[in-house]
Amino acid sequence: MNTQQPVPSTYNIKQTKGKPMATITIDDKEYNLEDLSENARAQIGSMRVADQEIASLQSKMALAQTARNAYARQLAASLPEKEATANKKKDVITIDGKKYNAADFTDNAKQQIAMLRRCDQKLATLQAENAIAQTARNAYAAALKAALAG
């Protein structure tokens, strides 16, 4: 049984026209920022930082994926014509299930393979960092919800 309270899924901070006080809307409920506890305001600030980090990481993941796709297209255009023999185990590069002799690749193709591997490593790192940032955001949101509950 899950006893965790759902975390605030959305929040918007706005300056209400004609009102001197900024407000925040959390899950369709409006709060005056000045009326919130210091802890609640700190959690909101932490959520903002986490959201900015998540957005930055998602942009970096999109860049890395775009570069990976470009390297893959370039490599596909320069694959060796012949595949490695079925029993060859050493100095073989497998691409899309097909085995090729490493020696048959041009220097340019080898560079594309190296960059593909680097992109894969970068994407894995960024995905892990994004998961960490999302977990932190969820923790801040849960703490905010608790602070708002009083």
Question: Are the CB atoms for 119 and 71 separated by under 8 Å?
Answer: yes
Percent helix, strand and coil across the chain, each to the nearest 5: 60, 15, 25
pLDDT tens for each residue of 42-59: 999 999 999 999 999 999
> What is the average pLDDT across 51-74?
97
**CA–CA separation, 37 vs 150, rounded Å?**
9
Compute the distance between CA of residue 23 and CA of residue 20 in angstroms, rounded to an integer. Answer: 10
pLDDT tens across 22-44, in order? 888 888 888 888 899 999 999 99
Which tokens hold the place of 98? 């097909």
The model's pTM: 0.79
- CB neighbours of 133 closer than 8 A, spacing ≥ 6? 50, 53, 54, 57
Q: Give DSSP secondary structure letters for 24-54.
A: EEETTEEEEGGGS-HHHHHHHHHHHHHHHHH
CA distance 138 to 7: 7
Kindly tell me if the per-residue pLDDT of 19 is higher than 90.
no
